[in-house]
Structure 1
Amino acid sequence: MADLADKIEPASAARAVYARVPGAALREALRKMYLVRRFEESAEQAYMRGLIHGTMHLSIGQEASAIGMTMLLTDADYITSTHRGHGHCIGKGADPRRMFAEFFGKETGYCRGRGGSMHIADVSRGNLGANGIVGGGLPIAVGAALSVRKQKRDAVVVCFFGDGANNEGAFHESLNFAAIWKLPVIFVCENNRYGMSMSVERSTAVGHIAQRAAAYAMPGVTVDGNRLGDVLAAAEAAIARARGGQGPTLIECETYRIRGHSRSDRNRYRTREEIEAWGARDPIGIFERELLEAGLIDRAGIEATRAAVEQEIEQGLAFAQESPAPQVSELTRDVYTETQEGAHE
């Protein structure tokens, strides 16, 4: 099995992939990381002001894994997401205006205001949707990859899930099925250290979730999920493997969520020192420094990008607040279909 345990040297792999990726694409990745961060911070503020109801699960601190894994995908490729999936949506090209509208329960949202934070989907961009069920996106991703294989299409599926899902039966069944059929799917575990309040050390026997790939005859790679270059290098190798008909890969992005599990989380299970230590490894700050050192952006460029993102966020909030609410008379629209006789089915 030694040949199946693919090893990527993070620093050298990141340098190599940066050399192959145009500077404009790397600057766009930084812009998207800003956009994810400001989208979630603004959504959180709207929630605290009572403009958004329900709950939400923020991925602040995890931007590098979401953007790094989606950078090389096209609209013909697919993703499945999680309840903590706003970064995945933006990485796959979602419009923040329609995302805000979905949060606000408005007709102009991606799911016409019916899905809210946890269920944004945009099939036109290959985003098959987020999922509130832990591990629920894994078999969906495998089904999509099987469809791609049967149709002989040159597409891949990226399946995001959290560390809590690696102990679900759906995880093991999905990896096994994908390996048997050599399906073009990339399983991406965003290991943010906690499944709700349970630490991964207490819930998972192996030291690295990527080690579980060996049981299913596929490569398993653990990367620093707070360094976009490391994530991008792993994504590049896994996507090439999937497109080449060699089958799936399991990538574990070790990262951290700075906020609690959800808006109701009081954070009593972890220390302030731990949160601050991970906060000092902010993926946005790390990527900014890398681009500055490489001469791919300057301070003026950073400030201009931040200002443009801020304007986009303000416009998105205004769009959502001004959009119409769904009509009660259309409550069952998109739930039932109409037969030729006009009766519901």
Structure 2
Amino acid sequence: MNPTREEQIWMYRTMVTSRRFDEAIGEIYMEGKQPKFDFAKGPLPGEMHRSDGQEPVAVGVCAHLTAQDVVTGSHRPHHEAIAKGVDLNKMAAEIFGKKTGLSSGMGGHMHLIDAEVNFSCSGIIGQGLGPAVGAALSRSIQGKPGVAVNFIGDGGANEGAWHEAMNLAAVWKLPFISVIEDNGWGISTPKSAATSVENHSVRAASYGVPGYHVKGNDPYEIYRVAGEAIARARAGEGPSLIVVETYRLQGHFVGDDFSYMPEGELDSQRAKDPIPAMRRKLIADGVATTDELDRIEADCAAKAEQAITFAVESEYPTSQFARDIVFAA
């Protein structure tokens, strides 16, 4: 299964939009936090997890999904949210804590919810698994169309919630797909020090479901594998597990000093940045011209900047609003 030209352009556009959005967020996030990094300073206090490098996972999967399909994301959710179609202006405003945000600024960047496109995420590791399996169960019981996809990191796949979700989905043959974004690290702990198997995909056999392993952070191979798994789910054949070898190009959080990484590892991964790689392939395959991709990239940058401007210029919710939603009758 190969993506159409339209799908390839959408995948590239979405990857670039996600990257430009994270770059813009990252620049503002660091304001006031230097020279000595302090989480509490600046216009965006707290942790910030960028998706740089992991964009292929989201677009390869979400290219097969519609608004009626459910996606629950991880604590590193921007690429997943953008690929699922979450409103970028409202998403930016939510990150800035503004009342025009997805949850009126009450959720923040790790708790993005957009009911219109059935997307949600959580900063609690593994928290999205239960809701995703529940959504798959509801569709199965009601005979409604749609699949449920959960994105989780390789460290999160060692949570008991992941095993419970996979087992239940397999027992009831639910339209559920677990996507593990294997970036090799759980915060600052290498996967080899925390996971008993070399690759999570072998764990699929424990639940009697297919386990796919995608190497090279390749959006085309992710698209192919995801298409097969999602088609199985839509046909009533049950869940699948997809493990994608990807990489985070900005560390665990913005401000990460990378001191735990072996020397040269980050540089070698940045040399394999998936966005320039896909651009070269699109041109080499005759899918798009240099000028066309330049226009797309400029449009993506403008869209990201527009979302940031919308967020910055929006008003904060009042203290009374916070009291009302907590103590509403």
Which runs of 5 or more structure 2 residues have no equivalent in the other structure? 32-41
CA distance in 1, matches of 2:51, 2:13: 16
Aligned pair in 2 of structure 1 residues 333, 68: CA closer, same or farther (>3 Å)?
A: farther
Distance 1:325 1:200, change over 3 A: same
Q: Does 2:94 correspond to 1:102?
A: yes
> Is the counterpart of residue 273 in structure 1 residue 258 in structure 2?
no
Post-superposition shift, 1:278? 1.1
Moved more, 275-284 or 239-248: 275-284
Out of 73, 79, 89, the residue aligned to residue 71 of structure 2 is 79
Contact 1:225 1:231 in 2 (8 A): no
Superposed displacement of residue 62, structure 1: 0.5
Q: Which residue of 2 aligns with 1:258?
A: 249
Contact in 2 for aligned 1:65/1:225 (Cα 8 Å): no
Which segments of 5 or more consecutive residues in structure 1 lack a partner in the other structure? 1-15, 338-343
Q: Bigger CA drift: 244-253 or 319-328?
A: 319-328
The two structures have a TM-score, normalised by structure 2, of 0.94
Matching residue of 2:8? 26
Deviations 1:232-261 (A, max 9, x none): 001100010000000000000101101121
Q: Quick one: which of 162, 174, 177 aligns to 2:165?
A: 174
**Pairs aligned (count):** 319
Aligned to 2:302: 311
Query: How far does residue 41 in structure 1 lie from its aligned partner after superposition?
Result: 0.8
Matching residue of 1:136: 127
SS of the residue corresponding to residue 181 of structure 2 reads strand
Match of 1:88 in 2: 80
CA distance in structure 2 between the aligned counterparts of 1:229 and 1:262, rounded to whole angstroms:
27
Alignment of 1:163-202 (within 5 A): 163-202=154-193
Report the Cα offset of residue 335 of structure 1.
Answer: 3.8
What's the counterpart of residue 296 of structure 1? 287
Alpha-carbon distance, 1:51 to partner: 2.6
State the alpha-carbon separation in 1 of the partners of residues 325 and 231 from structure 2. 37
Using the TM superposition, give the Cα deviation of residue 333 of structure 1 relative to its aligned residue in structure 2, in angstroms: 3.8
Q: How far did residue 146 of structure 1 move?
A: 0.6
- Deviations along 1:169-197, whole A, 9 cap, x unmatched? 11111100000000000000000100001
> TM-score if structure 1 supplies the norm length?
0.90
SS at the partner of 2:113? Answer: coil
Using the alignment, how far apart are the partners of 1:238 and 1:336 within structure 2?
A: 44
Residue 2 of structure 2 corresponds to residue 17 of structure 1: yes
3-state SS of 1:79 partner = strand
Moved more, 190-199 or 261-270: 261-270
Identical residues among aligned pairs (%)? 40
1:310 deviates by 1.4
The 1-side partners of 2:12 and 2:313 are apart by 29
Query: Which residue number corresponds to residue 220 of structure 1?
Result: 211
Is 1:38 the equivalent of 2:20? Answer: yes
* Amino acid paired to 1:110: L
- Change beyond 3 A, Cα 1:333–1:288: farther
SS in 2 for 1:117: coil
Superposed, 1:202-213 pairs within 5 Å as 202-213=193-204
Deviations 1:252-289 (A, max 9, x none): 01011011211343211103411111111111122112
Higher alpha-carbon deviation: 185-194 or 200-209: 200-209
| CA displacement at 1:336 relative to structure 2 | 4.8
Partner amino acid, structure 2, of 1:54: G
Residues 107 and 224 of structure 1, relative CA distance in 2, 3 Å threshold = same
* Per-residue deviation, 1:302: 1.1
SS of corresponding position for 1:56: coil
1:285 pairs with 2:276: yes
SS in 2 for 1:118: coil
Aligned to 2:105: 113
CA distance, structure 2, for counterparts of residue 133 and residue 317 of structure 1: 26
Matches for 1:59-78 after TM superposition, within 5 Å: 59-78=51-70
Instruction: Determine helix, strand or coil for the equivalent of 1:114.
Output: coil
* Distance in structure 2 (CA, Å) of the matches to 1:314 and 1:170: 37
Q: Which residue of 2 aligns with 1:51?
A: 43
Deviating beyond 6 angstroms after TM superposition, the runs of 4 or more aligned structure 1 residues are none
Q: Give, as a single letter, the amino acid of the residue that structure 1 aligns with 2:196.
A: A
